Chains A and B, each alone.
Chain A
Amino acid sequence: MKKFSQLAIPYIVWMVLMLVLPVALIAMYSVTTHGNSIISFSFTLEHYKKFFTDSDFLLVLGRSLMIALKTTIICLLLGYPAAYFIARSSEKVQNLLIMAITIPTWINMLVRTYAWIGLLSDGGIVQQILKLLGLGEVELLYTEGAVLLGMVYNFIPFMILQINSALCKMDASLLEAAADLGASKAETFKKVTFPLSLPGVINGITLVFLPAVSSFFIPKLLGGGQYFLIGNLIENQFITAGEWNFGSAISMIMAASMMLMMMLVKKIEVRNNGGKEEV
């Protein structure tokens, strides 16, 4: 079967070219002084120093992580019960609901986010509903709330689908076994269902948290020009300021800090798995 293994070779070449090299380029730009070319090359850490010695930059990173965290928590709190509800429905209803959740994700994210501008703007439908509910005239667009809403809107389907698939994958006999051993519904959920759905939860968190940290069009569209997250900072460095080296350094820092966060989450998962000894 040696022949088949050669089928992977073209892609491996392409992968090195299109996936590895670009990342290497970012890393290289982040530690070189000016000049947008690889010919003049001189090593420096000034870009990293610039980022880490300025509290404003750090604050932007902190805020980006914070809003991503908030997004993730909201998605989890809303998404878990929803996924649970779907998983416990009849197969027909299940398929229907999954369809209902998937269809919007087929439609371009920007298009859907753009629609929220109209819904949230002054005098828009949402504001009028809130007014009818006696909440007064609340400013909605260009607030952190709007950004949070945009992120939850765009990313919650991933959370629901991931958790749902973990719940569906679970062997029904495990629940019967728990009941057989005397666990009530609530106890079964706490001791069996939830721990076993954790991989889905972790996947969901990854799929929500990662894009939420780096998103820059949601804050720009719904948060307004002064709503600046780490993604906007990077965009700004590349598109307007032309500081590619600094931009690359920020990208590296962001990627690293996210990887760190994900490792932390994975660790929590392992710990939750309770004294399981790997053989």
Chain B
Amino acid sequence: MAYVAVSGGEEAIEESIRLLDFYRSGTDKDLETEAIENKLSLLVDRVMSEAGLYAKTLAVLALKQCEGSMEEAVFLLRAYRSTLTRNYYTRVVDTEGMRLTRRISAAFKDIAGGQILGATYDYTHRLIDFDIGRETPAALRRRIAETLAAQAPEDITPCPRVSAELKKEGLIDGFAQSDQAPHDVTVHTLEFPAGRSARLQTLSRADTGFISGLAYSALRGFGQAHPTVGELRCGYAELCLPYPLDETESVYIGEIMITEVECFNAADGKNQLGLAAGYGAVFGRSETKAIAMAVLDRELEAGGPYPAQDEEFVLTHGDSLEMNGFISHLKLPHYVTFQSKLDAVRKRRSAP
């Protein structure tokens, strides 16, 4: 009988989980964690970014555990994060001094410190390279090592932000320096109106697809006009902790790869046209997401009638766990509630 299939679920669940192992087993070839970490690094970056946990080794295990499912990997990392005690908070990260691997401006040709194209897929032709299927990893490594050895390393000096100059000229509306402790949305409920720190944190952890789609809607007309990418930079930012025995000293604990973006929009200043900046910063090399975040930061600051400008709409619907969890919960049994709905419909039909 149909009903039996949904109760007595214990055994069914066990078997279902075993079946997952069957799918995961796939082939005799193994997917080594070292290879995932180093060869699928953009995937790993995205998992860490949406999970809000910078932990490559764990992200790799998560991806391997769930057949490469984005939402499941993010889920695993987030759940693990809940078990960790927070021992320290780092000092505010100065991204101006980050070790750059890439830095471009769509606003100015010449910027102080220069443009560094770095690694980007932007100018590749998206043609499937059939040789990849026959590539030997050792040969590839050797070729890259030889190329590197033939080059003389060049010092990269920390660069001031492109916006710094415009701020000096008073052309851009900046946000006043704030020493207020940020509102941590992982510890406190997001409340509305939300502060900017809560907004930025939420956007930075948001599902890439969700915020990209929203930012796109803003560009297409459901929002302000086309913004300009003032600066996009990728690189390593240093993390430091206050030294417990002497708060004026810091202890360096490592660095994280981030992508940071500043977008400029035309904005009405006091009696004159001005510019306003939107900010985006995300874990890893995740440029579209960082730009989308900067676009939405600006849209939310400006406010307006469109979805991308509606704070509560944007900030409550983009969390990977929340959206996927609630959508998938529809698969759970709803016998009792549906029975109650049926009762209401029947009574309404039979009402005099």
A binds B: no
Q: A interface vs B, CB < 8 Å?
A: none
Q: B interface vs A, CB < 8 Å?
A: none
